[in-house]
Amino acid sequence: MKKVPFNDLSRIHEPIHKKVLAQFSKVVQENRFVLNKEIGEFECLFSDFTESKYTVSCASGTDALELILRALEIGKNDEVILPTNTFIATALAVTRCGATPIFVDNDEFYLIDTEEVEKNITRKTKAIIAVNLYGQLANLKELNKIAKANSLKLIEDSAQSHGASNELYSNNYSVAAAYSFYPGKNLGAWGDGGAVTTNNKKLYEKILMLRNWGSVKKYYHEEKALGGIGLSMFGGSSNVSEDSPSVFGNLNVGNDATIPFFQEFAERMHQHNTALMCQITHMGRRSHWNVGNWVSNIAPSRVREPSHRSFPREADITDINRIIKDFGQAAYRCKKGGLDGIEVLCHNHLLGQFLSPSTNLRSDMYGGSVNNRLRLILETLTEIRDKVGDDFIVGIRMAADEQMNDGLSFNESLEASQRLQETNMIDFINLNVGHSETERALAEQIPGMISPLAPHFKLIKKSKKNIY
What fold is seen in the domain 219-467?
A: TIM Barrel (3.20.20)
pLDDT tens-digit series, residues 92-127: 999 999 999 999 999 999 999 999 999 999 999 999
pLDDT over 70 for what percent of the chain? 94
Q: Which of 175-179, 243-247, 360-364 has the lowest mean pLDDT?
A: 243-247
d(CA 53, CA 203): 12
pLDDT of residue 1: 65
Q: Catalytic: which of 282, 349, 435, 456?
A: 349
For the cut 90, the answer to whether the pLDDT of residue 165 exceeds it is: no
For the cut 70, the answer to whether the pLDDT of residue 420 exceeds it is: yes
Q: Any alpha helices (H) in 242-316, and if so which ranges? A: 259-270
Residues 6+ apart with CB under 8 A from 230: 273, 274, 275
For the cut 90, the answer to whether the pLDDT of residue 440 exceeds it is: no
Burial 54-74 (b: 16+ CB within 10 A, else e): bbbbbebbbbbbbbbbbbbeb
pLDDT of residue 227: 78
Domain ranges of the chain: 12-211, 219-467
For the cut 70, the answer to whether the pLDDT of residue 171 exceeds it is: no
pLDDT of residue 167: 61
E strand map for 193-340: 194-198, 231-239, 275-281, 298-299, 313-314
Establish whether domains 12-211 and 219-467 are of one fold: no
* 12-211 CATH pick, 3.40.50.720, 3.30.565.10, 3.30.830.10, 3.40.640.10: 3.40.640.10
pLDDT over 90 for what percent of the chain? 64
User: Where is pLDDT greater, at 386 or 13?
Assistant: 386
By the 10 Å C-beta count (0-12 exposed, 13-18 middle, 19+ buried), 97 is classed as buried
Q: Which of 169-173, 246-250, 356-360 has the highest mean pLDDT?
A: 356-360
pLDDT of residue 169: 55
User: Could you confirm whether 349 is annotated as catalytic?
Assistant: yes
Interstrand relation of 153-157 and 176-180 (parallel, antiparallel or unpaired): parallel
pLDDT of residue 299: 94
pLDDT tens-digit series, residues 17-35: 888 888 878 777 766 677 7
The answer to whether the CB of 248 falls within 8 A of the CB of 281 is no
> What mean pLDDT do residues 309-322 have?
92
Q: Which of 43-57, 122-136, 318-332, 438-452 has the lowest mean pLDDT?
A: 438-452
For the cut 60, the answer to whether the pLDDT of residue 170 exceeds it is: no
pLDDT of residue 457: 86
For the cut 80, the answer to whether the pLDDT of residue 215 exceeds it is: no
For the cut 70, the answer to whether the pLDDT of residue 291 exceeds it is: no
What's the mean pLDDT when you consider all of the chain?
89
The answer to whether the CB of 370 falls within 8 A of the CB of 378 is no
pLDDT tens-digit series, residues 202-213: 999 889 888 876
For the cut 80, the answer to whether the pLDDT of residue 400 exceeds it is: yes
